[in-house]
Amino acid sequence: MSKIFVNIGLSLDGYMAPEGMTVENWDKPEYKEWGAKWGALMGWILKQQYFRENLKFGPGGETGPVNDMLRHTMERSGANIMGKRMFEQGEASWPEEAPFHTSVYVLTHQKREPWARPGGTTFYFVTDGLESALEQARESAGDRDIRISGGANVIQQYLKLGVIDELEIALAPVLFGGGRRLFENLHGSMPQFRIDEVLNTPDATHLRYVRA
């Protein structure tokens, strides 16, 4: 049966994204540091050969355990789920061949026709809730797994539903001091996890948790 997992980067103080991280805020003085902070958070992935190949950045890049881990994450994913804010930022910044190569279910309140991109990515816009998006993703994924791609609010909602089987977190040695925090707005009975794997590198500590 398909597993439902999260795979994200996280700052040391628990943020998935720095304050003001939108394309519109790129040149605003009050948010001028968000690009540098995001680069520090995700710099590890930009170095990987598989990532460079997937986004067609050209040859080169690092091979080894982190590259293998990244390849496994992408190859196991049969469908993705994300929120509207994450999609809107990606729509403005992803290349024409979006990097998912699966069906992607976007949680939104606005109806929109499916948007097919080169390379096998099709975005479907789900207006009837979390459970509906998950049901559609399960059907699309088949025997492969389902990735909850973000943002933080979407991950929190699926944690509250108790359906997430695994958390894969790349903990980077950077402090944001504000932004969108991953583990907040959680209450009541939460699923419990245990550490399954730890991979240390100078750029990030890669932590894998599975349901206890």
Q: What is the pTM of this model?
A: 0.92
pLDDT at 1: 80
pLDDT at 187: 85
pLDDT at 38: 86
b/e map 144-175, b = 16+ CB within 10 Å: ebbbbbbbbbbbbbbbbeebbbbbbbbbbebe
pLDDT at 39: 87
Q: Which domains does the chain have, with CATH numbers?
A: 4-211 (3.40.430.10)
| DSSP-assigned states of every residue in the chain | ---EEEEEEEETTSEEEETT-SGGGTT-GGGTTHHHHHHHHHHHHHTBHHHHHHTT--S--B-SHHHHHHHHHHHHEEEEEEEHHHHHHHHHHS-SS-S--SEEEEE-SS----EE-TTS-EEEEE-S-HHHHHHHHHHHHTTSEEEEEE-HHHHHHHHHHT---EEEEEEES---SSEEESS-S--SS---EEEEEEEE-SS-EEEEEEE-
Give the type of residue at 202. P
pLDDT at 140: 97
Return averaged pLDDT per consecutive 10 residues of the chain, 212 residues in all. 95 90 61 78 94 87 96 97 92 88 97 95 97 98 96 95 97 93 89 96 97 96
Whole-angstrom distance, CA of residue 212 vs CA of residue 103: 29
Start-to-end CA distance of the chain, whole Å, equals: 17
pLDDT at 27: 61
pLDDT at 57: 84
